[in-house]
Each structure stands twice: as structure tokens, then as C-alpha cells.
Amino acid sequence: MDLLRYQGIERQKEPVVPSVIVIGAGISGLAAARALSDASIKVILLESRQRLGGRIHTDYTFGCPVDMGASWLHGVCNENPLAPLICSLGLKLYRTSGDNSILYDHDLESYTLFDMDGSKVPQEMVVAVGDVFKRILKETERVRDEHAQDMSVHQAISIVLDRHPELRQEGLAYEVMQWYICRMEAWFAADADMISLKCWDQEHVLLGGHGLMVQGYEPIIKELAKDIDVRLNHRVTKISQEYNKVVVDIENGTSLIADAAIVTVPLGVLKANLIQFEPKLPEWKVAAISEIGVGSENKIALLFDQVFWPNVELLGIVAPTSYSCGYFLNLHKATGHPVLVCMAAGRFANDLEKYSDEYAANFVMLQLKKMFPNASDPVQYLVSHWGTDRDSLGCYSYDPVGMAGDSYQKLKAPCGNLFFAGEAVSEEHSGSVHGAYSSGVTAARNCESHLLQRLGNFKKLRLIFRDDNALLEPTFPLQISRI
Ligand SMILES: Cc1cc2nc3c(=O)[nH]c(=O)nc-3n(C[C@H](O)[C@H](O)[C@H](O)COP(=O)(O)OP(=O)(O)OC[C@H]3O[C@@H](n4cnc5c(N)ncnc54)[C@H](O)[C@@H]3O)c2cc1C
């Protein structure tokens, strides 16, 4: 095979500079490319979209940053792998909850809930039902211990309520309970009847609570991409491992060749077989791809000319089913801009994608008008489509009922000179930005060790030095506010 007929990375003269193709310019791909580039490895980053960031997408159409993908930093602490970057860029965080928040709870104190008739739900009831919900979840641990077979969180809640009728709620309190289930479903981006009882609370949560990125996540993406050879509009269609090399075919008909590749495309893209692998991926890898779930979450952001809602972080509407409940993030509290973001998850998020943006915006405005009959119409709106966008095909991974315990490890495991990164390979922090970032750094390190073993000590060629210690110790403290 004549390697020179491939475009892109040219055959190197001695001494050898290893080359790696990173596929996907989300946070994991950018982190991997940055780490490899800092280790003097030649990197090309291929991205199918016309923009960087993947499931991080800060939109500026409203004249202020609005994150249509990730918006929270989960774990506002120096141990968060993103802390050094956030600090060095001087980015501000608005903390919506502290250390004692539970997994799916961004801040109990600053919710205001309404019923379908627009009446405010008494705060004592919100707190009381929240306590009952915590007790129910605690009881599901017993159900888990009693059953060898996995089941859904929904099924376990039903078993608990059969055993403890005193925990059942009636009337408005029942609707508030549905709202808590809706919040939990939003965390996992999946309905309660799909979430694994065995796994749902096994996530390792960093300290420091949850903080909104006030200026959006985009500055981090820009910083990581500095000086990296990124090729936008380069959709990868095939990855072949040949003669100790990796050949990557691009939709535009060109091919690139390198010593190794790191695949960071979303799990949804792998599930849909949008990239052909030659030879085929081993069965254990294919099984992991199919076992891990991909959830759905969409945002409908609404810009108003003035604020007509109370000064709380979240506005919620309670309903007889978790599907019909709704909630809106009040960006005005965190950023000062008159923006509400409706967050839809699970089947509701999927269903919204079947309609036009106008329909979705009208639908959530109807919900808002139930809470605030005098609500003005939005000046502008934005609607995300993470589930049908062929570059994401879902929002982030979750643990479905019956998932094998080692699926994340298998998804992460390399196949020869092919490495895997992305939020879904992060065992401890899947579904998060910091988990995706770390997975990219880890894949780059593993890839570098692989190349060192195969090609010898190219380290002596180190062209760019980065002070590794500078990455460990943030120069400035995290800037956290609570207005
Ligand atoms: C609505 C929503 C809300 C979220 N909220 C939060 C939050 O508040 N906090 C948090 O920590 N996390 C949140 N997340 C999750 C977080 O956004 C992701 O975990 C993280 O951004 C994933 O990064 P990644 O690099 O793994 O994947 P991606 O960002 O998806 O990057 C993969 C890249 O691969 C590209 N690609 C796809 N196919 C191809 C191809 N064939 N060829 C070349 N390139 C391809 C894609 O275009 C994309 O740029 C949220 C996600 C969504 C969708």
C-alpha cells in the first residue's frame, strides 16, 4: 500500500514524529488533541459539524450566552479536572446548590412550583413531599438488596409504595411527587421505568455542588482548541486498521493516515453504526455500545423583553404524571438576562423533536402561561434537537435496567491502535463535561504510551512544554457567586 497517496499527514523523515487522528471536536476530543499536541505528537482533529464543542454549544443569538447543551459544572471544587482551566480563564460560576444536595437536586430552596391552574404550591408541601420522596428512595435500597435481578427505579418505587401505603400521596401532593420524579428523570435524561435500580445512585459525585457557567462553556472550548489543527466539516465514515496504521475515510472522499486514532464521537453515533470499522469492532465492544443507554434532553430557551416571574432559580409546574410536569431554569437570577430555559427530558424530549421549533416554543409557552397568565410572548426562542441531530443522536449516557457492570470499561478499552474517549467511557463521571474531558486526557496518555512502546522514545523531540504542575494547582480561586 502506498501510504503517500493519502492526503493529510505526510510521511515523516527521521526522527519519527508519531501522528494521531482524533475524531470529534467535543470537549473529550479537544482534551485529547491538546494533550497529544503538548506531548509533541502530530495531531489532526476531525469534526463533522461546522463548529467546535459538540454537546457543548453556547448560543449568542439572544445577545447573551445561552448554553443549549451542558450548562452546569457538576462539582464546584478544585478536584474538578476543569477547575484549573476555569480559574485560569477567570470564568464565573453561579452556584445553584451546595454539598448537601442530592444527585438530582440542584436547589430545593429556590424552587417555586405551580399547579395546572396557576396556583402556587405551598412551600411546606414541596418540602414535605421532598422528604417523603427521599424516604421512598431510601427504601428502594432494601428492594435492591432483596432482588438479584435488576429492575427499574419506577418498579422499585411501586414496590415500596405497596409495602408502605403511608408514603403514598394524594391530590396535589401526588402531583408534587410526580414533579420530583420528573426532576430525577431530567438528571438521567431517561424515564424512571428505564433507569437501573442497581446503578442509579452509584455515581461518584464531586464535592462543591452544582454551578452554572455564567459566561457559558464556550470559552473553555476555544481555549482548548488554540493551535490545534482542527478540520471542521470532516465527517468520518470509515476507520480501518491496516499495517500498524489507522486509515480514516471522510465523507468528502479523502482519507487520512496516522499511527493511531482516538474515537470520541457520541455513543448515539456508535450505536447507529454511522462509522464503519475495518476490521469490525470485537463483539465485547459492540455489546458495550449496545448495553449503555443514551438519554434525551432538550432545551427551549425563551428571551423576553422583561422579567415577569419570581426571583427563584427554578420554576416548576406539577401535574398528574411526571411526563406532564415541567420546569424552567431562570437564567435571569444567574446572569441578569431575561431568559427562561425549559428543560425537557426522556420521552417528553423525544416527542418534542417530532414537532417544529415554533410548536415546541408555543407548547412550553402554554405551560408558562398556566403559571403566569400575564406572561408576554418571547422576543426570540431557541430549540435544541439533540436526539435527532445526526452528530449526537442523544444527549448523554445513562445506566438502563440490566446493564452489565463492566460496560463502561469495555467501551473505554482500546482495540490495538484505536482508542476511545467521550462522556460515555467515563466510568465515574459519565454524562458530564468533566467526565468527558478526563476521558480525553486519559485516552491521549494511553495512546502516547502505546506509541512510545511501538516507536521508541520520541519524547526527546518534545517541542512544546507545558508545566504539568500548573494544571494541578489553579492559579486563581474558583469565582463563585450567589446573587
Ligand atoms: C441538553 C444537555 C444538557 C447537558 N447538561 C450538562 C450539564 O449541565 N453539565 C455537564 O457536566 N454535562 C451536561 N451535559 C453532558 C455534556 O454536554 C456531555 O457529557 C459532553 O459535552 C460530551 O462531550 P464529548 O466530547 O464526549 O462528546 P461531544 O461533545 O458530543 O463530541 C463529539 C463530537 O463528535 C462529532 N462527530 C459526530 N460524528 C462524527 C463523525 N462521523 N465524524 C467526525 N466527527 C463526528 C460531533 O459533532 C461532536 O462534536 C449535557 C448534555 C446535553 C445534550
State which of 50, 55, 105 you would mutate to test the pocket of ligand 1, scoring each by most atoms of that ligand within 8 A of its C-beta: 55
Ligand 1 centroid vs 264 CA: distance in angstroms? 9
In the predicted model, what is the mean pLDDT of the chain? Answer: 90
pLDDT at residue 104 in the model: 57
Substitution site in 265, 341, 393 for ligand 1 pocket (most atoms within 8 Å of beta carbon)? 265
Identify the helix (H) or strand (E) that includes residue 241.
Answer: strand 236-242
Q: Given the C-alpha cell 482524533, which residue does it identify?
A: 22
Give 478's pLDDT tier (boundaries 50, 70, 90).
confident
Q: What percent of the chain has pLDDT over 90?
A: 80
pLDDT of residue 4: 35
> Would the pLDDT of 204 be above 90?
no
What DSSP string describes 114-139?
E-TTSPBPPHHHHHHHHHHHHHHHHH
DSSP line for 191-205: -TTTBBTTTTT---P
Q: Residue 465 has what pLDDT?
A: 35
Higher pLDDT, 107 or 378: 378
| Per-residue pLDDT reduced to its tens digit, 70-87 | 999 999 999 999 999 999
Res 458: pLDDT: 64
Distance (angstroms) between ligand 1 centre and the Cα of 266 equals 6
Could you tell me if 283 and 468 are in contact, meaning their C-beta atoms sit under 8 angstroms apart? no
CA of 294 to the centre of ligand 1 (A): 12
pLDDT at residue 57 tops 60: yes
Q: Nearest 5°: phi and psi at 129?
A: -70, -35
Q: Which residues contact 154 (CB under 8 A, 6 or more apart)?
A: 191, 192, 193, 195
Asked if residues 309 and 315 have their Cβ atoms less than 8 Å apart, the reply is yes
Mean pLDDT, range 116-138, rounded to an integer: 92
Among 433, 437, 438, 439, name the best residue to mutate to test ligand 1's pocket (greatest count of ligand atoms within 8 A of Cβ): 433
Which of 4, 12, 31 has the alpha carbon at shortest distance from 419? 31
Q: Which is more confident, 246 or 463?
A: 246
Q: Are 341 and 378 in contact (CB under 8 A)?
A: no
Reduce the DSSP state of residue 424 to 3 states and report it: helix
Cα-only R_g, the chain? 23
Grid cell at residue 353? 423533536
Q: Closest Cα to atom 27, ligand 1: which residue?
A: 26
**Residue list, ligand 1 pocket, CB within 6 Å:** 23-29, 46-49, 54-56, 69-72, 74, 235-236, 264-266, 269, 274-275, 297, 299, 384, 386, 391-392, 395-396, 422-423, 431-433, 436
Whose alpha carbon is nearest atom 21 of ligand 1?
A: 55
Q: How far apart are CA 258 and CA 242, in angstroms?
A: 10
Q: Give the whole-angstrom CA distance, residue 354 versus residue 479.
A: 40
pLDDT tens digits along 426-476: 988 999 999 999 999 999 999 999 999 888 766 554 443 334 444 444 456
Helix or strand (DSSP H, E) at 300: strand 297-303
Ligand 1 centroid to 187 CA: how many Å?
A: 16
Alpha carbon nearest to ligand 1 atom 12, residue: 432
Which residue, by CA, sits nearest to atom 26 of ligand 1? 422
Atom 11, ligand 1: residue with shortest CA distance: 432
What angle, 0 to 180 degrees and rounded to 10, lies between the N-to-C axes of helices 123-146 and 153-163?
A: 100
Among left, alpha and beta (phi > 0; psi -120 to 50; other), residue 403 is beta
What's the burial of 126, exposed, middle or buried (CB within 10 Å: 0-12/13-18/19+)? Answer: buried
CA 103, chain centre distance (Å): 15
Give the residue carrying C-alpha cell 434525551. Answer: 296
392 alpha carbon to ligand 1 midpoint, in Å? Answer: 7
171 by Cβ neighbours in 10 Å (0-12 / 13-18 / 19+) ranks as exposed
- Best mutation site among 46, 396, 397 for ligand 1 pocket (most ligand atoms within 8 Å of CB): 396
Interval between CA 424 and ligand 1 midpoint (Å): 10
Tens digits of residue pLDDT in 143-190: 999 999 999 999 999 999 999 999 999 999 999 999 999 999 999 999
What is the distance in A from the centroid of ligand 1 to the CA of 173? 36
Q: Which atom of ligand 1 is nearest to the CA of 71?
A: 8
**ipTM of model over 0.95:** yes
What is the three-state SS of 77-102? CCCCCCHHHHHHCCCEEEEEECCCCC
Share of the chain above pLDDT 70, in %: 90
Q: Is 26 exposed, middle or buried (0-12, 13-18, 19+ CB in 10 A)?
A: buried
Question: Could you tell me which residue, 154 or 3, shows the higher pLDDT?
Answer: 154
Grid coordinates of 391 = 452528530
Across the range 13-24, mean pLDDT stands at 84
DSSP 11: P
- C-alpha 145 – ligand 1 centre gap (Å): 34
| Protein residue closest via CA to atom 33 of ligand 1 | 24
Instruction: Give the pLDDT score at 39.
Output: 92
pLDDT score at 98: 74
311 and 340 in contact (C-beta within 8 Å)?
no
Q: Please report how many Cα atoms fall inside a 13 Å half-sphere around the Cα of residue 213, on the Cβ side.
A: 31
- Closest alpha carbon to 89 in 213, 207, 227: 213
* Cα-to-centroid distance, 176 and ligand 1 (Å): 32
Q: Whose CA is nearest to atom 37 of ligand 1?
A: 391
Q: What is the average per-residue pLDDT within 306-317?
A: 93
Amino acid sitting at position 166: E
What count of residues does the chain have? 483
Predicted pLDDT of residue 417: 97
Q: Output the CA 50–ligand 1 centroid distance in Å.
A: 14
Residues 6+ apart with CB under 8 A from 472: 84
Residue 347, pLDDT above cutoff 80: yes
Q: Which of 60-64, 197-201, 285-289, 304-308 has the lowest mean pLDDT?
A: 197-201
Strand partners, 418: 261, 415
Residue 39 DSSP label: T
Q: What is the DSSP letter of 24?
A: -
Q: Is 329 a residue whose pLDDT tops 50?
A: yes
Is 80 exceeded by the pLDDT of residue 291? yes
Between 10 and 358, where is the model more confident? Answer: 358
**Residue 100 predicted with pLDDT over 70:** no
How much distance in Å is there from the Cα of 49 to the middle of ligand 1? 12
The predicted pLDDT at position 96 comes to: 86
pLDDT-derived band at 14 (thresholds 50, 70, 90) equals low
